Amino acid sequence: MGKIQNVTFLGWADAKEGDSVFQSAFETAKLCAKHGLTVVNGAGPGIMKAASLGAKSAGGKTIGITFYPKDMPVFEGRDESNKVDELVVTANYLERTLKLLEAGQVFVIFNGGTGTISEFGMAWGLARLYFGHHKPLVLFGDFWQEIMAAFDKNMFIRPEEMQVYKIVNTPDAVITAIFDFEKTAENVSHNHKGAAFEI
């Protein structure tokens, strides 16, 4: 994985500024920016916009990854009020998802709907495939405890798949988790060379 520079934020596109999850994403992105990390998001509303606003409030850099859909009436798409420093336009939803996962070295995943679930599933699957030089997940919110326990109980989950994420419930804990992951990755790289994470 190497040094963490970009943090991809994933979560509920319908979150409003008064929602606690919106504020959590804002504060987390603000802290990321204060620590010199670039915030990556899907350039849409909700958690994506919260991430950009939070990073900007601390003078941080943002990258937005979007696409302009056809025949997708329930897709939130690009939110022009989500101001990003760099906008990457992809061809479709799958390409956008892959680019979001490619752009970050760690994923902070908030509560969300099926879009968030699909992003989480792909990020988790890739972390297992590249275990040892993977991109880790930071799952924000205590509700993840029950979800991950249910996966572990009911699905055929390998032991390493439960080692690629941390569950946290504060912005400060996100920062701690990110740098703990980075420190662990540095120790692993000193002990043996692994193939680079690729999508």
What integer pLDDT is reported at residue 188 of this predicted model? 63
Q: How far apart are CA 110 and CA 27, in angstroms?
A: 13
- Residue 190 in this model has a pLDDT that exceeds 60: no
- Residue 70 in this model has a pLDDT that exceeds 90: no
What integer pLDDT is reported at residue 24 of this predicted model? 98
DSSP characters for 132-195? TSPPPEEEESTHHHHHHHHHHHHS---GGGGSSEEEESSHHHHHHHHHHHHHHHHHHHHH---P
Domain spans of the chain, in order of start: 6-190
3-state secondary structure of 20: helix
Cβ 76 vs Cβ 45: under 8 Å: yes
- Residue 196 in this model has a pLDDT that exceeds 80: no
pLDDT (tens digit per residue) in 121-137: 999 999 999 999 999 99
| Secondary structure element (H or E) that encloses residue 86, with its range | strand 86-89
Task: Give the confidence band of 193 by pLDDT, cuts at 50, 70, 90.
Answer: very low
- The position carrying tokens 């009911």 is 154
pLDDT (tens digit per residue) in 18-61: 999 999 999 999 999 999 999 999 999 999 999 999 999 999 99
Cβ 78 vs Cβ 109: under 8 Å: no
What integer pLDDT is reported at residue 7 of this predicted model? 98
| 3-state secondary structure string across 105-131 | CEEEECCCCHHHHHHHHHHHHHHHHCC
Q: What's this model's pTM, rounded to 2 decimal places?
A: 0.92
Amino acid at position 88, single letter: V
CATH number given to 6-190? 3.40.50.450
